Amino acid sequence: MIQTIRNIIKYKSFHVPDKGSQEAYNLWADNYDDQPDNLMFYLDGVVFTQLMANISVKDKVIADIGCGTGRHWPMLFQNLPAKLTGYDVSDGMLNRLKLKFPDADTVQITDNFLGHIPDNTYDLIISTLTVAHIENLDEALLEWCRVLKPGGNIIITDFHPKALAAGGKRTFQYQNTHIPIVNFVHPTDAIKSFFKEQNFELINEAEKVIDNTVMHYYIKQNAMHVYWKFRGMPMIYGLHLKKG
């Protein structure tokens, strides 16, 4: 995200068209895990860990929607779930996940529907850094509600819509070009209202703001002008919702 914003500012006269999620992540898959200084991964990890703190994973049936290469899977497997299934639009990302977890249960999805999954299948659905890639979000969330058991939990984390609305983009470097990925702005209040209408309770929410604790990421990228532009802005949010 630091690199993304800096390049948007520096090269604002040079426009690279946004790529759709499947094409973009297929291109990104080979070096997706090789990002030790990715600020957004760090912030997402903090929020995800915070929201998962009071959820028991042991013997649970879990769906990871937008699983990518399975960034959170080591932590999940450490807590002994009964089954963990990863869903993603990118076969490239799923292939990388399979290299790390050869026995992984994965499904490549092409739309918002999970028609092959029976109602009330999952104890827990997680979706990290994915929601803003979904254009018709209500359609997707209705499916998540359908396949979640009563009393089940949903954990969502993503780029904050305020950051996206302010011009923030997900980008990655491919063949010396910074490629932006299509995003859609879904206000968090709208997401919470949707789940309330579906008889979900909001258990917890969190967000991470750009502040002095992450300044060193910007210093390393020689991007302090970006830091001052976005200082005080929420960059990652998270929601923990429980089905009634």
The DSSP output letter for 30 is G
> CA 150 to CA 201: how far, in whole Å?
12
pLDDT in tens, 62-116: 999 999 999 999 999 999 999 999 999 999 999 999 999 999 999 999 999 998 9
Domain locations along the chain = 2-243
Give residue 179's pLDDT. 86
> CA 48 to CA 238: how far, in whole Å?
7
- Helix ranges (H only) for the chain are 2-10, 21-28, 39-52, 73-78, 91-100, 137-147, 161-165, 188-197, 215-220, 224-230
Structure tokens at 16: 């690279």
Which position has the token pair 């249960």? 105
- Which amino acid type is present at position 186? H
pLDDT in tens, 127-137: 999 999 999 99
Give residue 11's pLDDT. 39
> CA 24 to CA 174: how far, in whole Å?
10
Question: How would DSSP label each residue in 133-172?
Answer: G-SSHHHHHHHHHHHEEEEEEEEEEEE-HHHHHTT---EE
Give residue 1's pLDDT. 46
CATH superfamily ID and name for 2-243: Vaccinia Virus protein VP39 (3.40.50.150)
Give residue 159's pLDDT. 94
Distance of CA 55 to the CA centre of its chain: 19
Give residue 36's pLDDT. 80
Distance of CA 150 to the CA centre of its chain: 24
Give residue 3's pLDDT. 44
* Cβ pair 125, 51 in contact under 8 A: no
The pLDDT tens digits along the chain (244 residues) read: 444 444 444 434 346 688 888 898 998 989 898 888 888 899 999 999 999 998 999 999 999 999 999 999 999 999 999 999 999 999 999 999 999 999 999 999 999 999 899 999 999 999 999 999 999 999 999 999 999 999 999 999 999 999 999 887 788 788 878 888 899 999 999 999 999 999 999 999 999 988 889 888 878 878 788 788 888 889 999 999 999 9
State the Rg of the chain over Cα.
Answer: 18
